[in-house]
Amino acid sequence: GHPELLQSLRRSLDDEGNILDQASFLLTDLRSQVRQVEARIRKQLTDLIQDHSLSNLLQDDFVTQRSGRWVIPMRMESRFQIPGVVHDVSRSGETAFVEPTAIIQLSNQLENLVAEEKAEENRILREFSSRIREITRELEVELRILITLDLLQALARLADRLRMEPPRINQEGFFEVVQGRHPLLELSFQRQATKAEVVPLDIRLSEQAKVMVITGSNAGGKTVALKTVGLLTLMALSGMPVPARDTSSFPLIDKLLVDMGDEQSIESSLSTFSAHIRRLSEILGQADQGSIVLLDELGTSTDPDEGAALACAILKRLQEQGALVIATTHLAGIKVFAEYTEGLVNAAMAFDPLTLTPLYRLKAGEPGLSHALEVAQRYGLDPAIIASARGLLGEEKVRLDRLIIDLSEQKKQYEMACEQIKQSAAAVDDKERVLEEERKALEEERKKVLARTFQEASDYLTSMRRRMQALMDEIREKGRVRGKEALKEVGNIQEEVHENLKKYSDQEPRRPLTLEEIQEGRLVFLSSLGYDAEVASVLRKQKRVKVRAEGFEIEVPIQEVSRPVGIRPVPKTSTSPRPLSVESPPARLNLIGLRVDEALSRLEPFLNQASLGGLAEAIIIHGFGEGILQRAVGEHLKGHPLVKEYRPGAKAEGGAGVTVAALV
């Protein structure tokens, strides 16, 4: 930066480069004198033309300049009536522009002042030039930076205006444009402020299909597609964003070779065909794996059969050289060649046969028709001529065109069907997602209900334990006479608990056990009875199970058998005095070999009997094993209303293989 120089320039020059009065004190003074002298000259001349005695001598009543001198317009025949110098004559010869003698001295003074003003302006410019010359290289660098910044800003504004995206650059040699738009065409639409939009282009070339042949109607967009590919490629490789989706990818190439337009020349004795051939020869000499080749109207301007054969040979050579090629044509021979040659692919510009209008949409994988007669009809050619042309086409050509149209229509219907399937699949996915969300919500609600139910059951069992504890306290106080009545009441309480627990057990469906899961001597839950029972035998052929329940053996279907829940049948005190027996309560309970649920289902009635029998201690034998059963017994005894405390057995009692519970 040179702020002093910049400040001097801003003070001395306006935005258009004109030198301002304040550029120097001398220039200020000179311009002030120039204005004063000019004012005096104009006043004298104005007074002169306003003199009524001279009005018949004047051609007009204004003051002007000729050859840098102030003059007045006088009639040609009166030009010598006022002393002065004639500086010019009008084109008609009727007016003479005369400088009166009265202002000649002032005019000479003005001319000298103007010369001095010009000299001062030149001095100022030379001074600035000298100062700038000293920092020329520095200014050149800064200018290049400013140009770059200006370019980047313009590019950013254009990118925002055209919704441009940074493309991907690949080294694999494939080319893909997704929703590409010609930038100049889009800008043109924006300037016209029309509602029309540029139809985006989708095109892909890869190792499997390096050559694409685009066919379709005249004025259908083939050449625009070709230009879009070329322009977007150059933009991408120049580091610019492109008017396409950010998934577009361009190969890192070193040559973009194009044959487009008519280069015929009278001076060079070149016809349209020979000009194309010369350009194609140049392209064939340069094309390689690092090239993209764009060929417009390949094979035209000569005999169609020979042109098609030549075009096919050129495409084959370019394919062998590894170039990516896009060519447009109307020749049927090239379409057939592309259809049956590996590595080549046909593409068509879509055309609406109902409205006879092009759709400007590229459809890969199918050849297109030229629709020359339809386009001619659209542009107003005599219908009789069109009808005559159709008759001259020949039946085979008509059938071929009809076949292509039918295939195109079938493909369109297929694409629509695929789209409908995609939409249906998406709808199914949405429904599955909604159902899954509803299932999760129901599962969450089920867990809440089960948690609430479990809490209710837990509270209920706690209440029942307190009632049973009160009854047993009463038995101890009143003796054995009251014992039988209390036992009956305990049985009623157990029945009540059993009935209430059944409704809680139904909260979640139970899975029936398989024959392989059922073992003799194990406890199972019977849904028909509502409590656990011991398996006596398994009748595999009949798919039934024989169980012992309340002193009887009964058979039940396997569907009624599930895992035990810890609910045992209510003891009948009148017929089976063993449960809760007051006379001879057992002091030991052997749980070895039982599962946790089985062991706990036997532990509870054992504690009741021991407490009612007045035992001070009860010994539970669980064995050593992995300690699972020992921990389960300890958890059950912890906080039990009948248990004061519990401890591992002494060595004489069985050691760690037993747990001794002190009863209240």
Q: Please indicate, yes or no, whether residues 103 and 230 belong to a single structural domain of this protein.
A: no
pLDDT band at 575 (very low <50, low <70, confident <90, very high): very low
The pLDDT value given to residue 593: 80
Same domain, residue pair 262 and 127: no
Same domain, 337 and 251: yes
What range does the domain containing 49 cover?
3-133
Mean pLDDT of 117-129: 95
Does residue 111 sit in the same domain as residue 37?
yes
Domain count of the fold of the chain: 3
In this model, does residue 57 exceed pLDDT 90?
A: no
Residue 472 domain flag: no
Cβ contact 618:607 at 8 Å: yes
173 with 128, same domain? Answer: no
| pLDDT > 90 fraction of the chain, expressed in percent and rounded | 33
CB 579 within 8 A of CB 554: no
> 334 Cβ partners below 8 Å, 6+ apart?
213, 215, 298, 299, 308, 311, 312, 315, 327
Sign of CA dihedral 419, 420, 421, 423: positive
Does 503 map to a domain?
no
Residue 352 lies in a domain: yes
101 and 196 in a single domain? The answer is no
In a domain, 390, yes or no: no
Provide the pLDDT confidence category of residue 370 given band limits of 50, 70 and 90. low
Domain harbouring 640, CATH code: 3.30.1370.110
Is 539 within a domain? no
Interval 297-344: pLDDT, tens: 898 878 888 889 999 999 999 999 999 999 999 888 898 898 889 999
Same domain, 84 and 183: no
- The domain boundary, picked from 371, 399, 431, lies at 371
User: Among 50, 97, 95, 60, which Cα is nearest to 76's?
Assistant: 95
**Residue 313 placed within a domain:** yes
Task: Output the pLDDT for position 147.
Answer: 95
Provide the angle, in degrees to the nearest 10, between the axes of the packed helices 596-612 and 395-478.
Answer: 20
pLDDT digits (tens, 9 = 90+) for 125-162: 999 999 999 999 998 999 999 999 999 999 999 999 99
- What confidence score (pLDDT) does residue 578 get? 38
Q: Rounded CA gap, 450 and 443, in Å?
A: 10
On whether residue 122 sits in a domain, the answer given is yes
Do residues 176 and 112 share a domain? no
| Residue type, position 291, single letter | S
CATH number where 230 lies: 3.40.50.300
Instruction: Sort 394 into a burial class: Cβ within 10 Å, 0-12 / 13-18 / 19+.
Output: exposed
Asked if residue 306 and residue 190 are part of one domain, the reply reads yes
227 and 317 housed in the same domain = yes
Q: Which of 350, 371, 392 is the last residue of a domain?
A: 371
Instruction: Return the pLDDT at 387.
Output: 79
Q: What is the pLDDT of residues 624-641, one digit of tens each?
A: 777 888 888 888 888 777
Q: What is the pLDDT of residues 180-215, one digit of tens each?
A: 999 999 998 888 877 778 899 999 999 889 999 998
Tell me: do 173 and 217 sit in the same domain: yes
Please write the tens of the pLDDT for every residue from 428-450: 888 888 888 888 888 888 777 76
pLDDT at 511: 77
Of 133, 160, 185, the last residue of a domain is 133
Is 193 found in the same domain as 52?
Answer: no
